[in-house]
Amino acid sequence: MTSLKKEHLNTTSGVLSSAAFLPYIWAIIHHQTVPSPVSWAIWASVDTLALIAMRKEKATSGQLTGTVAGAWIIAVLALIFGKPSMGFIEWITIAIAAQGIVLWQMKGDALLGLICAQIATLVGGVPTIIDGYRNPAQEDPFAWSVWFLSCIFALFAIKKWNLANALQPLVFIAIETAMVALVVIRPHLLS
């Protein structure tokens, strides 16, 4: 696949990732969901760390750029409309992300920051996956489907299959695949 085609896929992935936040933003503003400001601030920070690390490694991700923008918008809305909560998973996620920053600064290796950010993303995604299993109706199937589609484009947009370029899209597709299975496919199988 040509470099230009991969760049178009990368851009499409970013646009889709950004668009997937719109139903959630709508639900927050219309009081249909109550986001946690702590969780969203952590996710936005971890995604920002990953984006900075990827750029330092000369890796690009339209998907992550869209995700960072969307996550910070949700974090701000969560401060206005949300309910603060700080659980065990949030503390673990912060610790892993902080470890990534410390390792990055000590070793001068942005890849360590990216790895820790993606581990934090996986750990931080566990409560969402559990909630998606317990109560799939609380999640927006359209948003998760668009995020999943964004992941497909992001995978095809990977310019070089190495850790710096591929780790973030692979982590995101793992989470999105689980959520699509739980909130889009599973409810149809149970009905």
Query: How many residues in the chain?
Result: 191
Q: Which two tokens stand for residue 77?
A: 């809305």
**Domain hosting residue 79, numbered range:** 3-190
128-143: average pLDDT: 87
pLDDT for position 72? 96
Question: Is residue 33 classed exposed, middle or buried when 0-12, 13-18 and 19+ CB atoms within 10 A define those classes?
Answer: middle
Average pLDDT along the chain: 90
Q: pLDDT tens digits, residue range 79-110?
A: 999 887 778 888 888 888 888 888 888 888 99
Cα 136 from Cα 1, distance rounded (Å): 37
What distance separates the 2 farthest-apart alpha carbons in the chain?
A: 53
DSSP 30: T
Question: Is residue 4 classed exposed, middle or buried when 0-12, 13-18 and 19+ CB atoms within 10 A define those classes?
Answer: exposed
Cβ atoms of 44 and 74 closer than 8 Å:
yes
Cβ atoms of 137 and 73 closer than 8 Å:
no
pLDDT for position 135? 86
Does position 132 have pLDDT exceeding 90, yes or no? Answer: no
pLDDT for position 22? 95
Q: pLDDT tens digits, residue range 137-184?
A: 888 899 999 999 999 999 999 999 999 999 999 999 999 999 999 999
Q: Which two tokens stand for residue 27?
A: 């639900």
- Of 28-37, 114-123, 135-144, 163-172, where does the model show the most confidence? 163-172
Q: How confident is the model at residue 42 (pLDDT cuts 50, 70, 90)?
A: confident
pLDDT for position 60? 82
Q: How many domains does the chain have?
A: 1
33-52: average pLDDT: 87
2-15: average pLDDT: 92
